[in-house]
Amino acid sequence: MNEFVAQRLNDILFSSWQHFSLVAQCLVAAAVLAVLAAALAYRSPVLRSAADSISAIGLTIPSFAMIGLLITPLGFGVRPAVVVVGFFALLPILRNAIVGLSEVPASTVEAARGLGMGRIRIFLRIELPLAWPVILAGIRVSGQMVMGIAAVAAYALGPGLGGFIFSGLSRLGGANSLESVVTGVVGVVLLALILDLLLVGLGRLTIPRGIRV
C-alpha cells in the first residue's frame, strides 16, 4: 500500500485537489442559490411545502443513475459532475434555510420594522444572521454528502478521487486493484473531515457566541 501511494503521490494529490475544488465550488454556488430560493419561499406555505417536497424527492434519486443519464446531453467530463454535485448539494441547504428563516421570531422582525428598516435590510441584518446557524448546519450535512457523491462523477470521467475507486473496481483481483480502491475511499473520507473542520471554523468566525447552537 505504501509503495502504491509513493509511486502515485503526485496523481493522488492532484486528484484530491480536483475533488475538493469541485465540492467546495458547488457547495458555495448551492448555498447562494438555496438562500435566494428560501428567501422567496419561506413566507408562503405553498412555496415552502413545494420546496420541502422537492428536497425530499430529490434526495431519493440515485446519484449514479443521474450522472449516467446526464452523459448523453452533457457529454463526459466536468459538466455532468458539476450538475450532479450541485444538485445534491442544494437540497439539504434549501431545507435548512427555509427552516432557519421560518424560525426567526416574528416579534424581532416587527421590532425592526418599527425602527424603520426596509424588507431587504431586515432580511440581511436580522433574519439571515439569526437563521445562519441552521443554514450552516445544512451546508455541513451537504458537504459530507456530496463529498461521496463527487466520487461517482468518475463514471462520467469527471475529476477527483473517484477515478482511483472505479479503476480499482474495474479490475478487482488484479495488481494494485485493492490499493487503488482503498486510496480513493480513504482520500474521500479525509477530504470530508477537512471540509467539515473548515466549516466549523467558518461557523466560529461568522456566528455570534450568543446564538451558536
Name residue, grid cell 500500500: 1
Cα separation, 178 vs 165, whole angstroms: 9
105: left (phi over 0), alpha (psi -120 to 50) or beta: beta
Is the separation of the CB atoms in 85 and 144 below 8 Å?
Answer: no
Q: Residue 142: what pLDDT?
A: 96
Q: Mean pLDDT of all residues in the chain?
A: 89
Residue 89 has pLDDT above 90, yes or no: yes
pLDDT tens-digit profile of 152-175? Answer: 988 888 888 998 998 888 877 777
Q: Residue 210: what pLDDT?
A: 67
Residue 213 has pLDDT above 60, yes or no: no
What is the rounded average pLDDT of the residues 64-75? Answer: 90
Q: CB under 8 Å to 22, separation ≥6 — which residues?
A: 78, 81, 82, 85, 150, 153, 158, 159, 160
Q: Residue 86: what pLDDT?
A: 95
Q: Residue 208: what pLDDT?
A: 76
Residue 198 has pLDDT above 90, yes or no: yes
Mean pLDDT is highest, among 20-29, 55-64, 126-135, 160-169, for 20-29
Residue 119 has pLDDT above 90, yes or no: no
Share of the chain above pLDDT 70, in %: 98
Residue 73 has pLDDT above 60, yes or no: yes
Q: Residue 98: which H helix or E strand, with range?
A: helix 78-102
What is the rounded average pLDDT of the residues 69-94? Answer: 93
Taking the whole predicted model, whether its pTM rises above 0.85 is answered as: yes
Write the CA distances from 41 to 102, 136, 149, integer angstroms: 10, 18, 27
What is the rounded average pLDDT of the residues 135-159? Answer: 92
Rounded-to-10 torsion of CA 174, 179, 185, 190: -170
Cα separation, 194 vs 172, whole angstroms: 29
What is the rounded average pLDDT of the residues 127-151? Answer: 94
